[in-house]
Structure 1
Amino acid sequence: MSHTREVSVRRKGWWPAAAGSAAAAALLLSGLGTSVAQAAPPEKDSVYYASPDGRDEGQCQEQHPCSLEHVQGVVRHEAAKGKGDVTVVLADGTYRIDSPLEFRAEDSGRDGHTVRWTAAEGAHPEISGSTQLSGWEKHDEAANIYVADTPAGFETRQLYVDGVAAPRAATKLALTDLTLTATGMTINNPALAYLADLPDQDRIEFESLGDFTDRYSPVQSIVGSTITMAQPAWDNNTWGWDTVQNSLLAESTWFLANSLSFLDQAGEWYVDPDAGKLYYKPADGVNPQDLDIELPRVETLISVGGTYDAPVSHLEFSGLTFTGTSWLGPSSAEGYVSQQNGGYLKGVYDYRPADALANCSRGCEPYERTRNTWFQMPSAVQVSAADHITFARNTFRNLGSSGLGIGNDDNAVLTGIGLGASNIAVTGNVFTQVGGHALFVGGIRADAHHPSDPRMTNQDILIDNNTISHVAMEYQDTSGILSTYVTRAQIVHNEVRDLAYAIDTGYGWGINDPGGSQEYLNRGYYKYNPIYQTPTTLKDNLIAGNLVHDIKRDFADSGNIYNLSASPGTVIEENYLYKVSGVGIYLDEGSRYILSRHNVLSGANPWVFTNAYSAGNGTNDNTLQENWYNSGGAQMPNAEARNNRLIDNVRVSGSNWPSAAWEVICAAGVAPEYRTELNANLGGIDPRCETVAAAETR
């Protein structure tokens, strides 16, 4: 089948033109991702060495390796000469850092040369922001709770036990247990009367899982049956859409978390910063002294960012593990006020109506003013104002926010200079046990969709052959891969599994597309925001050859491959989705000009949904052609009026896929050379995929 061959070629960085698509524009990624496999460097290339116990002096030679901080200074000096590639070889072991490693313009390769930070042959170096906890003692014999010392005043939202993110102590609530009010909650269930007697009440958090958001609000105090919530988190969580008191489609799920009194399940933990203690409840018969329990100390591990005049360029990271971070933003009075997929409200909105709890719980005109002011979740590894940056065969594990952020808004990066990412390659990496997104590309504010400086444009981003499993662990409404306003993103041959949302592209609900959206004109959005007459930077993207499976039904409003807003020239093709919940291909508000073809969808319901119910919301001119599915049908309201077309799609019975569909199934996901123990065994599905299942793992 010709299209299968096209996708396999894309692994090598070539993007064939899609018929009738603006994606025929030449992809500017030539050369990206090839440097890892290059031949031996020429004589002028320089090699330096680092080790976990390396010195803070010297020239960092193999016999006398240096610390990361010292070798960085040596490399800067050498790279500035522009006489060849420069390589830093990291020996095996754990490099524990207590502040971010910052890569700026002076860390760049010069004159076409590259600076590489790579693992020594056979080594698995870890750059860690955590410290290992020890000295455990029994705190409560009957309850099997242990305690260890932490630095006084130390706060964290994460704890990692033998490489797995451990849950904070929490208790689930019934919706009848509480009545939500403008200032907090009233306790209805007498069994919860003990809450008023708890110490450290201002450390308790209320979590609400809605239809598409996961929100956190901190408690201020509890007196009698009255819970007063901290501000501004409570005000911000009780207006807009999918609010804590009025989720969109189905009932919310509520929890109280972060109190020692909730520590009743094996694997849970609680930290008391004032006392400098951390409490942990292991499984019966397990001594935590025998476990690797990691306490994260930093929020950002790696910051790659320059300026638009002097971007960071020609850097490569390969064979490394990035691990051991937290994100403390939600622990403040701001909480975490999710709006969708890592975008959140923060601060005081003085135009929020006094009656918002009742009258703005499903949107209102004042709320529409907020949309271009949302913040973005930060990432443990950040790239902005940068070009020709490569991440190859790394592992991103045990991270408290998102894993790798590329070209996010300025509020989500350490440098304060966001966007501006181009020619970035993310190839063959593993993402697991991550709090938010695995990969988060693009911004959501005005400069992301209509850059005031063309150098802000995020473009030519290659995301290929990555394995993403068990991410969005704490912020469950985030997706495995999110690419917002990006030009020429290739999201190809990745495997995404074991989370609620898989691959999402676009943002903005069509409100920033040419001519705006009638739906948001009706809501009053344009009283406060411009109607643009020019397109956004979202275009010419490719989502192809991905393997998506074991997607959880944690939210009522769910999609597996999902898009928001106009994306001319974008193609979704030859992806295989199985064991998925909810919608297979979800074209939400404003989605236009997208071609979805030759995808295989097993178990989705419906297999496609185009959100064109509302008149004038811009979900128009999409084509779904020659896809195969075995359940769910198509949900395409007003299809003819909106020119959303179904062409020659085929429903099959069970797994009786035709041979062309089997070609897509067996070619989906990462190439054999990138496979790990986390990848699915496609050989167990059909003998025709045995070659995939038998591939060597690393």
Structure 2
Amino acid sequence: MPTHRRAALVTLVSALLALGVPGAVAQAGAASSDHLASPADLYVSPAGNDHADGTARHPVRTLERARDLARTRAAHLTADLTIHLASGTYRLTDPLVLDARDSGTGGHKVVWQGTGATVVSGGRQVTGWSPVAGRPGLWSAPAPHGLTDTRQLYVDGVRAQRARGAVPVTLTQTATGYTASSDTIAHFKRPSDAEFVYTSGESLWNIERNGLGQWTEPRCRIASAEGTTITMAQPCWDNSNKRVEFPDIPGRTVSMVGPGHLTNSGKATYIENAFELLDQPGEWYLDRGAHRVYYMPRKGENLARADVEAAAAEKLVDGRGTVDAPVHDIAFRGLRFSYATWLTPSGPEGFSEIQAGYTVTGDKGWATQGLCQYVEGGTCPFASWTKMPGNVSFAHGQRIDFADDVFAHLGAAGLDLGTGSEDSTVSGSIFTDISGNGLQIGGVDGQTPASGVQVTNNHLYGLPREYHGGVAVLNGYTRHDTIAHNQIDHVGYSAVSMGWGGWPDKIGDPATPNPSHDNEVRDNLIFDYMQMLDDGGGVYTQGLTGTSMADGEKVTSNVIHDQWGLGKSVYTDNGCTYETVQGNVLYHASYANVASRHTDYRDGLGNNDPTLVKDNWWEEGTADGDNKGLVTTGNKIMTALSDVPADIVANAGLEPAHRALLQRTIGGPSAPEAPSRVGTSTAGADALYVTFNPSFVEGSAPVTGYTARAYDITGKQVGEQAVTAADFRRTALVRLGGLPSSGGPFTVTVTAANAYGTSAPSLASLPLTPTAATTLPPAPTSPKLRTRSTAATLAWTPPTATGDAKVIGYRVTVSDGRDPIDVAGRDVLVTQPSAKGMFRVIGGLKPGTTYTVTVAAVTAAGTGPSATVTATTTS
């Protein structure tokens, strides 16, 4: 990631970064290994020969041959056995399968050592491009031999977008799919290739919520389209629409996670993977029947010279240990894992998401999967849904180490250290451009939990690219795991997700028993998270985390800031028990720094789940106290980052020896990904306010600005307004004025720009006709002033009704005569529809002084009446 993409926190240690050299860690590892090469070591080269003996002078060619030779030597090691992989690309059609026979012995490891330029690839090159007659700008090529399907295409290391666009018909949901307003989709070249995507999120402004919860983005393929009848693929359709609800609790699913069916009458947000939608540079389509790839090049791309890769293999490395025969003592260093796909979402199962990449699967999965004691025939344990696979994966792996590696251009989860993983490490590695979760640890299926996994000094960013409800690090039921000194930034949903199975507290039942204990999330730097979906956090955790406060989960000394969606810095969700949140720096969240209070249903005493929130630097300002087991103590209000001791800030994130990771650029030069979720609100008779989710995939340089464009019902552009990225970060708004007084409604698209170019346009907003705004909003409610000696947190509840325009800000006045404080930002927008609490810190106060503070909502109509609160600062 380029240096200029780092947040202000990282500038405090810029002098240390200047000492780093890109790739230095991996290169040093390779040099050290070469220096200590043993006569038993093996050598592999893309130019080698599998009939050779694997010596330095006569390397073998394939990873499989190197593995087989290593098996003959691994049983009686007296030193580490290193398999030296020369620079270059090693193409796999099947995964490198490792089992107990491939393990190190005698306390020594089998080390797969790359150079930093060693690529383990599941891709097939696409060559032979030619222009498509009658379609200016569109090119095609024969699909590579053996490629029957893929969901990802990359051009010079840059992910291309599967052809997508607005649903071209009006859909009315039926039991098996939809009735369409016309037969347009039935006339698609291959309707059964097309996939409906249901984007979720907070219903703010002129945006529809179409998924299975604000944290999900399910997908289902069309099975057939005949006339106006659209039949959806099964079981995806039923698994997304028939989830069992409690008969005596209206709207509450037995899963207790999200709705029982696709919301908004099941309307799809957009449609993807149809030839007819190929209309933007950077889009592609695989015609499986004709065995041909279509692509519309971006500006500057030359397909005669470009390296075009279709992801083909679904796994690159598959570690198949068992309880009785674990795979163990293996290391991977200096390798890059790329160009793998995942085809299940393209099939009948689709992607019926529950949370964090877990899905409901199987015929009638909606009726029984993971529902345990709550339905007859329910499978256990509760909430044991289907986990997204990893393109690199290990089950029952012990002492498996990944260091100085890159996981990029991948189509499922990047790395899965699954059931039975023990005493393994992931360090000094990069995770980016991954379709789903970055790193997965353990599982939730009740089998052997992961234990002793250490995830340290990694950089995870620019993900998930396809399944936007994915997270950077997903940790299930585990013990003694540590997630420390990582930098996680520019992610679509939560950064770290811990635990599972706490949802039964929604109906007054205790969280699902599980083996988790002694896990910690510490010293991480997390920022620019939840940039696409809502209801998550920088660290999201739920369920029983241990057996006592002593062995419960610890979230300590992290720096977490700049959340975009609706959520919290540290989100202690349902059933989160024995949680410690201590010594963190938490700021710029939407409505809470720490969400903590849940009733403990393990007994009938009415206490809260035991939780300690201590000694954090935050903006929330909640007073000290013991609320039936929820202990809040010693937290400090911060007015600015400069209030926090510099050593606390400097210690978070990558340690000095690993900060060169931030300098590395993965993939070729590229413009940003398009913004998403464009919404509009009236800004007067001739203007619209526009908001959108920014591009969390910034490309090869930071986003410098955005441009919003308005179109009338004929598709003619009628307005345009640019905004810098810095101004948009501050306001979350663009005012698009000078629109025609007639000719509405108008739709709006947004593009993002960086030093390498401009993104494709976003999907268009819903149509809206601007109107004059004359009715002022009512006053906010429940104002509170949480005081300290020289600062106070002003908290209030947004008005639920806003007159004839939406709230775009608040105005705060302080009785000491200072200028009014104008409150703006994304939290203003996302908290208003559901009346989530807002807060802002007021600094520069005097100890022991009484202050009166007012807060008023602002809309296009003006500033409404104020709510008033008076309090005295502490001495």
Q: Deviations over 1:19-54 (max 9, x none)?
A: xxxxxxxxxxxxxxx998989887966221100121
Q: How many angstroms does 1:223 deviate by?
A: 2.9
Paired residues of 2:482 and 2:520 also in contact (CA < 8 A)? yes
- CA distance, structure 2, for counterparts of residue 540 and residue 337 of structure 1: 32
Q: Deviations over 1:585-610 (max 9, x none)?
A: 10000101111111112211234343
- CA distance, structure 2, for counterparts of residue 239 and residue 544 of structure 1: 40
**Structure-to-structure mapping, 1:106-125, within 5 angstroms:** 106-120=101-115, 124-125=117-118
**Structure-to-structure mapping, 1:293-332, within 5 angstroms:** 293-332=308-347
1:688: which partner in 2?
none
Q: How many angstroms does 1:252 deviate by?
A: 8.4
TM-score (norm 1): 0.79
Matched, 1:573 2:568: no
1:138: which partner in 2?
131
**Structure-to-structure mapping, 1:251-290, within 5 angstroms:** 254-284=269-299, 286-290=301-305
TM-score (norm 2): 0.63
Q: Which amino acid aligns with 2:233?
A: A
Picking from 87, 93, 98, the partner of 1:98 is 93
Paired residues of 2:356 and 2:469 also in contact (CA < 8 A)? yes
2:655: which partner in 1?
671
1:412: which partner in 2?
none
Q: Which amino acid aligns with 1:402?
A: A
2:249: which partner in 1?
none
- CA distance, structure 2, for counterparts of residue 203 and residue 432 of structure 1: 27
- CA distance, structure 2, for counterparts of residue 60 and residue 45 of structure 1: 11
Q: Output the aligned Cα RMSD.
A: 3.2
Picking from 451, 471, 479, the partner of 2:471 is 479
**Structure-to-structure mapping, 1:141-160, within 5 angstroms:** 142-150=135-143, 151=145, 154-160=148-154
Paired residues of 2:596 and 2:611 also in contact (CA < 8 A)? no
Secondary structure of 1:73 counterpart: helix
- CA distance, structure 2, for counterparts of residue 649 and residue 36 of structure 1: 46
- CA distance, structure 2, for counterparts of residue 506 and residue 571 of structure 1: 11
| Worse-matched range after superposition: 127-136 or 303-312 | 303-312
- CA distance, structure 1, for counterparts of residue 217 and residue 390 of structure 2: 18
Structure 2 vs 1, CA of residues 494 and 43 (structure 1 numbering), >3 Å: closer, same or farther? closer
**Structure-to-structure mapping, 1:441-590, within 5 angstroms:** 441-447=441-447, 456-510=448-502, 517=504, 519-520=506-507, 536-568=514-546, 569=551, 570-581=553-564, 582-590=567-575
Q: How many angstroms does 1:633 deviate by?
A: 5.6
Unaligned runs of 5+ in 2: 1-12, 14-27, 201-213, 244-256, 369-373, 665-700, 702-875
Paired residues of 2:239 and 2:366 also in contact (CA < 8 A)? no
- CA distance, structure 1, for counterparts of residue 542 and residue 64 of structure 2: 42
- CA distance, structure 1, for counterparts of residue 173 and residue 318 of structure 2: 41
Paired residues of 1:574 and 1:668 also in contact (CA < 8 A)? yes
| Worse-matched range after superposition: 370-379 or 339-348 | 370-379
Paired residues of 1:619 and 1:642 also in contact (CA < 8 A)? yes
1:338: which partner in 2?
353
The number of equivalent residue pairs is: 594
Structure 2 vs 1, CA of residues 44 and 615 (structure 1 numbering), >3 Å: closer, same or farther? closer
- Larger Rg over CA atoms: 2
- CA distance, structure 2, for counterparts of residue 153 and residue 406 of structure 1: 28
**Structure-to-structure mapping, 1:52-67, within 5 angstroms:** 52-67=46-61
1:624: which partner in 2?
613
Paired residues of 2:525 and 2:558 also in contact (CA < 8 A)? yes
- CA distance, structure 2, for counterparts of residue 166 and residue 269 of structure 1: 7
- CA distance, structure 2, for counterparts of residue 605 and residue 279 of structure 1: 42
Q: Which amino acid aligns with 1:196?
A: A
Q: How many angstroms does 1:652 deviate by?
A: 1.9
User: Comparing both structures, which one devotes a greater share of its residues to helix?
Assistant: 1
2:707: which partner in 1?
none
Q: Which amino acid aligns with 2:581?
A: S
Q: How many angstroms does 1:655 deviate by?
A: 3.2
2:425: which partner in 1?
425
Picking from 225, 228, 239, the partner of 1:225 is 228
Q: How many angstroms does 1:273 deviate by?
A: 1.1
Structure 2 vs 1, CA of residues 238 and 304 (structure 1 numbering), >3 Å: closer, same or farther? same
The structure showing larger relative contact order (alpha-carbon pairs under 8 Å, at least 6 residues apart) is 1
2:593: which partner in 1?
608
- CA distance, structure 2, for counterparts of residue 494 and residue 37 of structure 1: 25
Matched, 1:165 2:165: no
Secondary structure of 1:49 counterpart: strand
| Worse-matched range after superposition: 579-588 or 311-320 | 579-588
Matched, 1:203 2:193: yes
Q: How many angstroms does 1:162 deviate by?
A: 2.0
- CA distance, structure 2, for counterparts of residue 237 and residue 591 of structure 1: 27
Structure 2 vs 1, CA of residues 425 and 152 (structure 1 numbering), >3 Å: closer, same or farther? closer
2:173: which partner in 1?
180
Paired residues of 1:152 and 1:275 also in contact (CA < 8 A)? no
Structure 2 vs 1, CA of residues 275 and 243 (structure 1 numbering), >3 Å: closer, same or farther? farther
Identity of aligned residues (%): 29
Paired residues of 1:239 and 1:367 also in contact (CA < 8 A)? no
Q: Which amino acid aligns with 1:134?
A: T
Structure 2 vs 1, CA of residues 619 and 473 (structure 1 numbering), >3 Å: closer, same or farther? farther
Unaligned runs of 5+ in 1: 1-7, 9-33, 354-363, 408-418, 448-455, 512-516, 682-698
1:689: which partner in 2?
none
- CA distance, structure 2, for counterparts of residue 307 and residue 350 of structure 1: 27
Paired residues of 1:469 and 1:678 also in contact (CA < 8 A)? no
Q: How many angstroms does 1:144 deviate by?
A: 1.0
Paired residues of 2:581 and 2:612 also in contact (CA < 8 A)? yes
Q: How many angstroms does 1:178 deviate by?
A: 2.5
2:695: which partner in 1?
none
Q: Deviations over 1:611-667 (max 9, x none)?
A: 64678399611111111124x56699xx965522221212222334232xx322222
Q: How many angstroms does 1:498 deviate by?
A: 1.3
- CA distance, structure 1, for counterparts of residue 100 and residue 298 of structure 2: 48
1:437: which partner in 2?
437
Secondary structure of 1:539 counterpart: coil
2:412: which partner in 1?
401
Q: Deviations over 1:433-465 (max 9, x none)?
A: 111111000111122xxxxxxxx2310000000
Q: How many angstroms does 1:344 deviate by?
A: 0.9
1:658: which partner in 2?
644
Picking from 630, 633, 642, the partner of 1:644 is 630
- CA distance, structure 2, for counterparts of residue 384 and residue 302 of structure 1: 11
- CA distance, structure 1, for counterparts of residue 277 and residue 237 of structure 2: 22
Paired residues of 1:52 and 1:91 also in contact (CA < 8 A)? yes
Picking from 215, 218, 226, the partner of 1:215 is 218
